[in-house]
Amino acid sequence: MKITVELNGAKVVHDVEPRETLADFVRDRCGLTATHLGCEHGACGACTVVVDGQVTRSCLVLAVMCDGRSIDTLEGLRNNPAMEVLRKHFHECHGLQCGFCTPGMLIMARDILQRLPGPDANTVRHELSGQICRCTGYTGIVKAIVAAGQELARDTPNG
């Protein structure tokens, strides 16, 4: 089946199999491997991308169902202002060790800060439910998101 999507701002047309997940589409068809596949059944969050502005587990959505939609992967958010602030704080707060979960964590972090600006640590912990990290113990990730949220809230006091 032929699908047309806006992938990281560019129009992309591809033939896909109906059973192909969005994760396999962006990784294998489009070569965008920042999207990581951890579990392929929606439990780990490593494959989180943005579809029409909403965080999405790309392993739980079929590519054919995204026909006509707009998709952002981590590659497409390289110059996103919130993402730049988040990357800086992930670096400074030791928000990653092996880095496997980091793409999903960053995309989820940006979504949290969009929905709940300036969150406290408890809110961040609750909202990170379903994003598995096996090596940081989450401490650095939570600190980084809280710090990024404070910086972004300072820079845009009216939201």
Partner 1 sequence: MHGPSGKVSVGEIAFIANVRQDKLPTGMEPLLEAIGTYEPTISGGVFAYGTHAVVVAVDPDSGVVELLDYVVAEDCGTMINPMIVDGQVQGGIAQGIGTALYEEIPYDELGQPLATTFGDYMVPCAPEIPDVRLAHLISPATATEYGVKGLGEGGAIAPPAAIANAVADAFRSIRASFNETPLTPRRVSEAVDAARHTKDAAA
Partner 2 sequence: MKSAPFDYVRPRTVAEASALLAQAGVNAAAIAGGQSLVPMLNLRVAQVDLLVDLSRLDELKAVGETSENLQIGALTTHAAIEDGMIPDPFGGLMRRVASTISYRAVRNYGTIGGSIALADPAADWTGCLIALGAVVRIGGRNGAREQAVEDFVQGTYSTSLGPGEVILGFDVPRSDAPLRCGFAKVARKSGAFANSIAYVVVQGRGGLVTVVLAAAAPRPIVLAGAARHLASGVDSEDALRAAVADDLKTYLPDADPYETRLHISTVVRAARDMRTQT
DSSP string, 33-97: TTS--S-SSSSS-TTEEEETTEEEETTSSBGGGGTT-EEE-GGGGTT-HHHHHHHHHHHHTT--S
Please choose which of partner 1, partner 2, none residue 60 contacts, taking the beta carbon within 5 to 8 angstroms, the exact cut-off set by kind: partner 2
Member of 2, 11, 19, 41 binding partner 1 (CB under 8 A): 41
Q: Is 115 in the site for partner 1 (CB under 8 A)?
A: no
Distance, CA of 75 to CA of 103 (rounded, Å): 9
Pick one of 7, 25, 32, 45: the residue that binds partner 2 (CB under 8 A).
45
Structure tokens, 154: 């300072």
Q: How far is the CB of 64 from partner 1 (least distance, A)?
A: 24
* Of residues 68 and 91, the one with the C-beta less far from partner 2: 68
Site for partner 2 in 71-130 (CB under 8 A): 108, 111, 126-127, 129-130
Question: Applying CB under 8 A, does 37 fall inside the site for partner 1?
Answer: no
Chain positions 136 to 155 lying near partner 1, rule: CB under 8 A, are: 136-142
Phi-psi region of 20 (alpha: psi -120 to 50; beta: other; left: phi over 0): beta
